[in-house]
Structure 1
Amino acid sequence: MAYLINITTFSDTRGNLTVLDEAIPFDIKRLFYIYGVDSSARGGHRHHKTVQAAICIQGKCTIDNDNGINIETFELDSPDKCLILETQDWHVMKNFSPDAILLVLASTSFDATDYIFDPYQHNE
């Protein structure tokens, strides 16, 4: 299941320094960032192999997550808050503020065959 971690931040009168060293629980093979998002939702998938870490380094957004058992919404509203998305986590990123920049770190290089777009089917 997806989970939040706090990233170490050093603050003083000069500003803030947030350090990713040792914070991300996997080796980073790819990184990308999403910004300038209108009212659209992004994502809508999970992965066979890739684990991801999502950090909204500016502004805020929400990530709806479904691991097949639990459905949860996470708000990313601080650059020292990081959401770890495991392979089973089918996620949708939405509600981007106009100034939002969402940084995503991934455990694998891009591979189109790693994506699973079909959402889980829940019996109600």
Structure 2
Amino acid sequence: MPELIDLKTFTDNRGNLTVIDKCIPFPIARIFYIYGVDDSVRGGHRHVETVQAAICIQGSCRIFTDNNQEQKWFDLNSPSTCLLLYPEDWHTMSEFSKDAILMVLASTSFDASDYIHTPYNKV
């Protein structure tokens, strides 16, 4: 089941400093980011093994998840909020603001066979 975590953020008159340290529950094997998105819907898959941590480091976007038991929408609009996506979490990403940068930390290196593109069947 996906979960939101708050990243430790230090704020003073100089600005904000957000730290990712000992809060991601997996070793990070890959980092990628998505930006310059038009009205497209991204994602549309789940994984066999990969766990991901999604952080909208600028702007905003929405992530829809379905783990075959519960469907949920998450609004990511703060660089201090992280959405953990587990392998069973089929997800799509949409409604990117023009300035959005979505950074994703992944537990595995890219492997096309780790992707399941078919959504869960609903009765």
The bucket for the TM-score relative to the shorter chain is: over 0.9
Partner of 1:43: 43
| 4+ residue runs over 3 A deviation | none
1:56 aligns with 2:81: no
Percent same amino acid at aligned positions?
63
List alignment gaps of at least 5 residues for structure 2.
Answer: none
1:122, distance to aligned residue in structure 2 (A): 1.1
Counterpart secondary structure, 2:45: strand
* Alpha-carbon distance in structure 2 between the residues aligned to 1:25 and 1:5: 11
The alignment's TM-score, normalised by the length of structure 2, stands at 0.99
Counterpart of 2:97, as a letter, is: S
1:27, distance to aligned residue in structure 2 (A): 0.4
1:30, distance to aligned residue in structure 2 (A): 0.1
1:19, distance to aligned residue in structure 2 (A): 0.2
Q: How many residue pairs get matched? A: 123
* Alpha-carbon distance in structure 2 between the residues aligned to 1:24 and 1:55: 12
1:23, distance to aligned residue in structure 2 (A): 1.5
Partner of 2:110: 110
Counterpart secondary structure, 2:37: coil
* Alpha-carbon distance in structure 1 between the residues aligned to 2:95 and 2:112: 26
Partner of 2:10: 10
